[in-house]
């Protein structure tokens, strides 16, 4: 069953050059019988088609101004599309502005009632949920004080408690999960998980990619008002990472990564002090040829090219391999495996070798990093930046799962 159906939606915004002279121009236009230019337009969303199934959690990611908040507002009918249609099935609640509509002179209790009714609850529903809301906020002892006496944290907590406890069919969330102290945040995430379990449809707009990855079943990546990627969280997120690096090509080549280094220094998927840098990663097949296609059961080598700008004592190289669903399959490093590198200077590469690759066919993501000996000081860390494919082997006949273990069967009858 579809909870939200977005068909061919486009939305344009007007940007006014001069707000004050609005009426003056309107009158002048009538008098002159022609249109003076008051505003320019831009398309915040263009030709979007999305279906979100009931019970699923969908995430929208993208840069600021990519249109992700606009799409949320269209779903909640705060905005109307210029073209296309949106159909939603079920009661919607929007967590955009917490405590919107709170009146400072009224008590917390009175404001809970008003706020809940703004979100569409009836009197009996509020009565039923009141205790739960107050308990969730942890503000039992302040609930009969005017909210003007609340701290901003208390204010937001109360607002959040109302919004999350109204039990909608569809919950729209815009960047508000990071409220309150840590224990309150945990409570919020727990509540979201409860709603997920209860088969509620949740739409989630956020910059917090970790939460998106944790919570969402499907992620939509928007860029300049267009939907450019839709799929599993890890796929969309890594595409977003590539986008942030200025390249939306999935097959990022070594040369490009070097060129892009300057642009991504602040990107979320690369960090470190850069006294030594990873200048590229190359995958090699059993014949030592550079390739992104490896075969199950065959030899697999990864070459991590580095350049050290000063003498680096006892660096630790590490890698990680993830499935395309984000499962961390392996994460070895040189220190743990007793491979000691005394020091580095200048260019070179570190090689990681597997005699017989146990991974089943599919797409995998690859991280590489250089740390100091303590493991707490990153020189250069690239998180899930590279991608390689594993193809089917003629000799390995396993069919299911992520890995293929050398194994044999036996039977003993008694």
Q: Which residues bind another protein (CB under 8 A)?
A: 13-14, 19-20, 22-23, 26, 73, 76-80, 92, 94, 96-97, 100-101, 103, 105-106, 110, 113-114, 117-123, 126
Which of 161, 181, 45, 44 has the alpha carbon at shortest distance from 95? 161
Which residue, 125 or 275, has its beta carbon nearer to another protein? 125
Supply the minimum distance, in Å, between the C-beta of residue 375 and another protein.
44
Supply the minimum distance, in Å, between the C-beta of residue 92 and another protein.
7
Which residue, 117 or 363, has its beta carbon nearer to another protein? 117
Which residue, 69 or 269, has its beta carbon nearer to another protein? 69
Supply the minimum distance, in Å, between the C-beta of residue 49 and another protein.
22
CB burial class (10 A; 0-12, 13-18, 19+) of residue 381? Answer: middle
Which residue, 94 or 257, has its beta carbon nearer to another protein? 94
3-state secondary structure 340-366: CCCEEEEEEEEEEEECCCCECCEEEEE
Supply the minimum distance, in Å, between the C-beta of residue 210 and another protein.
25
Residues 6+ apart with CB under 8 A from 333: 316, 317, 318, 319, 371, 375
If you write DSSP's letter for every residue of 297-314 in order, what string do you get? TS-EEEEEEEEEEEEEES
Which residue, 96 or 354, has its beta carbon nearer to another protein? 96
Which residue, 170 or 237, has its beta carbon nearer to another protein? 170
Supply the minimum distance, in Å, between the C-beta of residue 75 and another protein.
9
Supply the minimum distance, in Å, between the C-beta of residue 118 and another protein.
6
CA distances in angstroms from 176 to 42, 96, 143, 163, 220, listed in the order given: 27, 7, 22, 11, 19
SS3 73: helix
User: What are 221's two structure tokens?
Assistant: 């990546």
Supply the minimum distance, in Å, between the C-beta of residue 202 and another protein.
17
CA–CA separation, 20 and 26 (whole Å): 11
Residue with tokens 């840590």: 182
If you write DSSP's letter for every residue of 325-336 in order, what string do you get? T--EEE--BTTT
Pairing of strands 201-205, 170-174: parallel
Which residue, 98 or 222, has its beta carbon nearer to another protein? 98
Instruction: Say if CB 198 and CB 56 are below 8 A apart.
Output: no
């Amino acid at each position: 069953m579809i909870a939200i159906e977005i068909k061919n939606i486009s939305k344009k915004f007007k940007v006014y050059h001069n707000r004050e002279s609005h009426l003056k121009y309107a009158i002048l236009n009538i008098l002159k019988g022609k249109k003076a230019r008051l505003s320019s337009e831009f398309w915040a969303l263009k030709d979007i088609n999305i279906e979100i199934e009931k019970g699923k959690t969908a995430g929208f990611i993208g840069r600021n101004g990519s249109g992700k908040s606009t799409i949320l507002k269209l779903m909640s009918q705060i905005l109307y599309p210029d073209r296309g249609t949106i159909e939603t099935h079920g009661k919607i609640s929007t967590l955009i502005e917490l405590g919107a509509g709170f009146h400072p002179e009224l008590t917390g209790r009175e404001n809970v009632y008003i706020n809940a009714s703004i979100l569409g609850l009836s009197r009996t529903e509020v009565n039923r949920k009141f205790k739960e809301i107050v308990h969730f906020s942890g503000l039992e002892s302040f609930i009969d004080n005017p909210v003007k006496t609340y701290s901003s944290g208390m204010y937001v907590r109360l607002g959040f408690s109302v919004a999350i406890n109204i039990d909608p069919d569809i919950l729209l969330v815009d960047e508000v999960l990071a409220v309150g102290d840590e224990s309150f945040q945990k409570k919020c995430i727990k509540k979201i998980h409860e709603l997920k379990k209860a088969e509620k449809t949740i739409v989630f707009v956020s910059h917090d990619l970790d939460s998106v990855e944790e919570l969402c079943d499907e992620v939509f990546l928007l860029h300049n008002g267009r939907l450019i990627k839709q799929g599993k969280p890890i796929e969309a997120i890594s595409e977003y990472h590539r986008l942030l690096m200025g390249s939306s090509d999935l097959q990022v080549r070594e040369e490009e990564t070097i060129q892009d280094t300057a642009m991504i220094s602040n990107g979320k998927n690369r960090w470190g002090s850069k006294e030594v840098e990873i200048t590229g990663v190359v995958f090699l097949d059993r014949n030592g040829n550079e390739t992104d296609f490896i075969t199950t059961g065959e030899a697999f080598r990864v070459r991590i090219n580095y350049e050290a700008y000063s003498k680096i004592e006892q660096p630790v190289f590490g890698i990680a391999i993830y499935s395309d669903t984000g499962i961390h399959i392996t994460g070895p490093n040189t220190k743990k495996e007793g491979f000691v590198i005394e020091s580095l200077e200048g260019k070179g590469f570190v090689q990681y070798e597997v005699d017989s690759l146990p991974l089943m066919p599919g797409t995998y993501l690859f991280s590489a990093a250089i740390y100091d000996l303590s493991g707490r000081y990153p020189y250069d860390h690239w998180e899930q930046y590279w991608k390689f494919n594993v193809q089917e082997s003629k000799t390995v006949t396993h069919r299911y799962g992520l890995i293929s273990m050398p194994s044999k069967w036996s039977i003993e009858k008694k």
